[in-house]
Amino acid sequence: MIFDKLIEVLVSGMGNERVADATCSATTLRRRRDEWIAAGAGEALRRATLAAYDRMIGLGLEQLSADGCQTKAPSGGECAGKSPVDRAKQGVKRSQLTEAYGIPLVTEPAPANIRDDTMLTVTLDRYADLDKTLGPLP
């Protein structure tokens, strides 16, 4: 039940408070999410999902695309850092690697003041790590 509600939060983008009901409170959703992240359940689920998708449909690993973006983070957070282009306001960068059909393989967040080339290196290193789950990658 909690897992279904967490998936609803992720897919719909709604907050925990809107998804919570009499069967599960918003506090429980946040607590379980944090427990599962700390236990590595999210990463294990991501790898299992990619492996299943690869077996059933096939990942387009012959063409990969890497891109990044920078967003504001007005409330801060553990990953936010001072933006070099926005008067040192809090911001976050994300580096993402997708396969030929747009399925994200790796998403790496970082503070806004991290250099893009550093983020690309980390993103590609995490991609190389996927061969443990998916087998040899190009």
On whether residue 18 sits in a domain, the answer given is no
Domain of residue 109, residue span = 60-138
Cα distance between residue 111 and residue 71, in whole Å:
10
On whether residue 30 sits in a domain, the answer given is no
Total number of domains in the chain: 1
On whether residue 26 sits in a domain, the answer given is no
On whether residue 51 sits in a domain, the answer given is no
Given this model, what pLDDT does residue 57 score?
93
pLDDT digit string, tens, across residues 22-68: 889 999 999 999 999 999 998 888 888 888 999 899 999 899 999 99
On whether residue 70 sits in a domain, the answer given is yes
Which residue did the predictor score with more confidence, 11 or 104? 104
Q: In the 3-class helix/strand/coil scheme, how is the chain assigned residue by residue? A: CHHHHHHHHHHHCCCHHHHCECCECHHHHHHHHHHHHHCCHHHHHHHHHHHHHHHHCCCCCCCCEEEEEEEECCCCCCCCEECCCCCCCEEEEEEEEECCCCCEEEEEEEECCCCHHHHHHHHHHHHHHCHHHHCCCC
pLDDT digit string, tens, across residues 103-133: 999 999 999 888 888 999 999 999 988 876 6
On whether residue 84 sits in a domain, the answer given is yes
